[in-house]
Structure 1
Amino acid sequence: MDREYLSALLDWYVAIGVDIAVDDAPHDRFAESAAPPPAADPPPRREPAAAPGPARRGGAPMFPDEAARDAREAAESAGDLETLRARLAAFDGCAQLKAAAAHFLYAAGAPGAPLMVLDFAPGEEDERSGEAFVGAEARLLDKMLKAIGQKRESAYLAYATPWRPPGARELNAGEVTALQPFLRRHVELAAPKILLILGDYAARAALGATDVAKLRGQWFDYDAGASRPRALLASSLDNLLKTPALKRRAWRDLRALAAALG
């Protein structure tokens, strides 16, 4: 197998969530199970229990309530986008996402622009390159913006999660709860006039709701504290690439977006 084939194979393994390998040499498990068990070590001497200390950090597991509390404290006290970005990058409340992702990818485009686009997560090409919004999905988004007289330099592009989930799975309830304070503060500090949400995964992460189907193609106000931009839920870029029939609906959403931007 040549280098190009092996590289493509590894990319495919990453995309489907493979995270463990097996040995090259075969093992006779029947013989292993028939062997007598090793002698047990004597139990270790127990030390007196230490007094309770502060919440664990440095990669130690966090309980969901603890993660949500830390997220709120870190996000609400961030005074600007760069501080918020640094605090999210250091946040330990989504340890599984952080451990599985190769990169922390936050945003691209122009902070403070009237239009903020919220995608769900970095795509495969973004994850490989280590740059936000450079893959096939982003190239499609550039074409969509161009069709209504906009461009990347006139919009702010962000992810609901800066860590690509294994196999591009949806965020679980604990991850949504932990990331939502950062996401709401992100929108509040960016203060867009219009928030375009791409896909149900991104909508559920942004709203903390499971039933978002009724919002597709509809305008609603997104509560981000001091900022309440008008929001529109459109099809995900991944679905548009896979299902060309959705482009008719996407064009309708783009025209509504252009009218709202004036």
Structure 2
Amino acid sequence: MRPAVKRRRQEWGRSGESAVKRAGDRATAGELPDTGDSPPLPSGKPVGKTRGRPRSEAVERAILDAVIRLLEEGVSYDTLSVERIARTAGVGKAAVYRRWSGKDELFLHVVREMEEPAYEGPVDGPLREVLIGALNWLRQMSLAKRRSTLLRVLAAHVHSHPELWKRYHETVISARRERLAFVLRRGIERGELRGDLDIDVLVDMLTAPILVRILLRDWEELPEEMPRQIVDTFLDGLGAGE
């Protein structure tokens, strides 16, 4: 497990245990002290004006940690329910619905929290260096998923539920692809790439080699030099030339 993932898991464990105890002591049958949040609409948006005290971070961490613990115990996504999560966290269901519209949104929040942080490297500068940096981040994130049993479990649940996968793609993957697409468009504008190229195809060409090894050939290594090799091959074939 990569240090960043392990650290977040440890932090959740420490804060979650104390939060569960505090929330459990204060919870009654499905009730928590009023946080000032209104009941959610089906869309997940609150009704009316927010009032009272801000939401408790300790309760939120207890809920997130409860999802992780249930998954680690072998609970499947299909049998994971808001009621069960709330009971494990020692809070009422209302505490969950104040923060997330339902199980799908809560689960995707957990997935995003447990994954590596979003790529924050440069998007401007020499095209070769920027692309190598982006692919190196993808390689590191892929290695983290390969090494972490928990991340593999999370990914398996997402991929096995079409609607969940669609929402994950819309909220997570699309943003990553657009960041890379922006870099490529800048490269075309500066004359570093040919101008007759389809951006979506270019994104696929850059990311596919790493994704193929992760998804289809997971026994193969992801060497450190792989991002550089991919980018150099890509630019040799598709660069604007002299």
Structure (1 or 2) with the larger CA radius of gyration: 1
- Structure whose residues are more often helix by fraction: 2
Higher strand share: 1
After TM superposition, is the score higher than 0.5? no
TM-score using structure 1 length: 0.29
TM, length-normalised to structure 2: 0.31
